[in-house]
Amino acid sequence: MIERAWNAVSAILLVVAAGFVWRNNYSAAFGIAALGACAWFLGYRAQLKAKLPKEDLDDEDVHYSDEED
pLDDT on residue 19:
95
Query: Residue type at 19?
Result: G
Q: How far apart are CA 27 and CA 10, in angstroms?
A: 18
Q: What is the pLDDT of residues 33-66, one digit of tens each?
A: 999 999 999 999 988 888 887 665 454 555 566 6
What are the residue boundaries of the structural domains of the chain, listed by start?
2-51
∠ at Cα 51 (50, 56), nearest 5°?
75
pLDDT on residue 55:
65
- Report DSSP letters for 55-69, one per residue: -PPPTTT----SS--
Residue 24 predicted with pLDDT over 60: yes
pLDDT on residue 36:
95
pLDDT on residue 50:
83
pLDDT on residue 2:
82
